[in-house]
A and B are shown apart, each in its own frame.
Chain A
C-alpha cells in the first residue's frame, strides 16, 4: 500500500441536503467511529484535501461552488457522494432548481447511499475511494517518470 492511501485528508461540502448526512459525516470523526485511526483528517481546505465528500444534491446555485472546490483540489483526488441526494438527487430530484446528483457537476468515484447515510457506509465508501486514490497516485507517478 502506498502513502496516498495511508493519509487521506477529506474536505466536506454540503450542497443542498437536509443536514442529516452532514451530521453523519461529522459523527464519523467523533470518538464513536474515530476515523483519524486511519489517518483521515477533516481539512476544510481543498488544497490540502485528497477526498471530496459531498452531501446533498447539486442545484443551479451551488454547481459552480462544487466545481470550484473540485478544481482547487490537487491530483490525485477522489470524490465520494454521500447519501441518496448526492447520489441521484434523492427526494429533491424533481425540484425546480435541482440538477440531480453530484455526478451532474463533477466526476464521482464512489457512491454511498442512505438517507441519512450511516457513518459505517461513509467509512466503507472512503475505503473504496482509497483504492481509486492509490490507482490515480500510481498513474501520476508513471506520468511523471514518463515526462
Chain B
C-alpha cells in the first residue's frame, strides 16, 4: 500500500483513540459549565459542574431495556462515527471527510429514533432530519471556502498558512456561527429534542432511548460539541502555538455566546429554521465564495 495512505490511516486511528478519551472529558465539563451558566442567567444557583458526569454514570446503572434489538446498534454506530469524525479532524485530516462522517453519525442517530416506531420519537427524528437539512449547506460551503483560501481540505495544511482562515472567510465564519446554534441543539433551534422540561413531543428524538443507550447519546453530544467548537477554532489557526490558543479562546467565547442565545430566544418553527439557515448559507457562504473566486 501507498506510504502516505498508511500514514494518514495510522494518524486517524491514533487521533480517534485520543479523541475518544479526551473529548468526553472536555465535553462533559463544557456541558456542566453550560448548565451552571444557564442557571446563573436565570437567577438560580444551578447544579454542580460535574452534574452531567453523574447523570451519565446514573444512566449506566439503570435497568437495560429497549423497545427493539436494533436501536442500541444504531446508537453505537452514531457514537462510533462521531468519535471517528473527531479523530480525523483533530489529527489534521480531511475536513470534507469530517463533515461527511459526522453527518453519517447524525443519520444513524435519526435511524435509531425511527426504528422505535414511537410517534414522539418519529416526530423528533423528522425534525432532526430538517435540522440536518438546515445546517448542511452552510457546512459544505464552509469546506469549499476553506479549500479556496488554504488550497487544501486538510486541517493540518492550515498550520503552513501565513494568515488564518478568518482573514479571507469572515462571512463564512459568521454563517457557520448561525448554524452552530442548530448543531449544538440550542434554542431557538432545539426543535428535535429540548434540554428543557415541558416539550410538546416529550423528549423528541430521545423519547424511547433510556438507561445506558441514553448515556451513549449524551456522550455522543459531548463529543459533537467538542468537534464543532474545534471547527470554530480552526478559523484562527495558522503558524504556531499562539494561534491555537487564540482558536481555543474564540471557541470558549463562542460557546458562552451560544449559551446566551439559548437562554434568550424562544424556539422557532422548523419552517423558519430551514428558511433562515438556507438564506444565511446562500448570502454569507455564497458571497464569500464569489468574492474569493473573482477577486
Partners in one complex: yes
Residue ranges of A at the interface with B (Cβ–Cβ < 8 Å): 2-4, 6-7, 9, 29, 31, 34, 36-39, 41-45, 47-48, 50, 74-76, 137, 140-141
Closest beta carbon of chain B to A40's beta carbon, Å: 9
Structural contact, B44 and A39, CB atoms closer than 8 A: no
Closest beta carbon of chain A to B219's beta carbon, Å: 15
Q: Which residues of the partner chain B approach A43 to less than 8 Å between Cβ atoms?
A: 197, 203
Closest beta carbon of chain B to A119's beta carbon, Å: 14
Q: Does B63 belong to the interface (CB within 8 Å)? A: yes
Q: Does B45 belong to the interface (CB within 8 Å)? A: yes
User: Known contacts A44-B202, A74-B63, A140-B63; is A37 also within 8 Å of B47 by CB?
Assistant: yes
- A37–B199 Cα distance when bound, in Å, is 22
Q: Which of A34, A48, A74, A75 contacts B39 (CB 8 A)?
A: A34
Structural contact, A47 and B47, CB atoms closer than 8 A: no
User: Known contacts A4-B58, A31-B43; is A45 also within 8 Å of B202 by CB?
Assistant: yes
Q: Which residues of B36-94 have CB atoms within 8 Å of chain A's CB atoms? A: 39, 42-48, 51, 54-55, 57-58, 61-63, 65
Interface size of B in residues (CB-CB distance below 8 Å): 30
- A34–B207 Cα distance when bound, in Å, is 25
Q: Which residues of B193-216 have CB atoms within 8 Å of chain A's CB atoms? A: 197-199, 202-203, 206-211, 214
Q: Which of A37, A74, A75, A76 contacts B45 (CB 8 A)?
A: A37
Q: Other than A4-B61, A6-B57, A42-B197, give 13 A-B pairs with Cβ distance below 8 A.
A: A3-B54, A3-B61, A6-B54, A7-B58, A34-B46, A36-B35, A36-B46, A39-B47, A44-B197, A50-B58, A74-B62, A74-B63, A140-B61
- List the 5 closest pairs (A to B, CB-CB), nearest first: A3-B57, A42-B197, A47-B210, A6-B54, A74-B63
Q: Which residues of the partner chain B approach A6 to less than 8 Å between Cβ atoms?
A: 51, 54, 57-58
User: Majority SS of interface residues in chain B?
Assistant: loop
Structural contact, A44 and B45, CB atoms closer than 8 A: no
- A75–B207 Cα distance when bound, in Å, is 17
The residue on A at minimum CB distance from B195 is A41
Counting chain A CB atoms within 10 Å of each CB, the highest count among B42, B45, B62, B208 belongs to B62
- A76–B62 Cα distance when bound, in Å, is 7
Q: Can you list 18 contacts pairing A with B, beta carbon distance less than 8 Å? A: A2-B61, A3-B54, A6-B51, A7-B51, A31-B43, A31-B44, A36-B35, A36-B44, A36-B46, A37-B44, A38-B47, A39-B51, A47-B207, A74-B211, A75-B62, A75-B63, A76-B62, A141-B61
